[in-house]
Amino acid sequence: MGAVSIVMEQLFLYFEVWGFSEAVDPLVGWWVLGAPVEEYVYWFGATPFCLSVYLGYRRLLGRKDA
């Protein structure tokens, strides 16, 4: 999923779907492949987080007798 998100990030930047402004949101200052490092942290962090939330709820709700 992380690899797909890098491709999507590059497409969004290429087609100018969004831009980055430090006036609106202060950034760390590290840029990777034309995007702030925060973008990649989000993409790579969101996938395992959402998966763990899903698996946690599935485990929790799977034990209940409904």
Tokens 């491709």: give the residue. Answer: 7
Global confidence as pTM: 0.46
pLDDT digit string, tens, across residues 8-38: 778 887 888 777 666 676 777 788 777 777 7
CB 35 within 8 A of CB 20: yes
Q: Is 22 helix (H, G, I), strand (E, B) or coil?
A: coil
Q: Is the pLDDT of residue 66 over 50?
A: no
The boundaries of the domain holding residue 7 are 2-63
The number of distinct structural domains making up the chain is 1
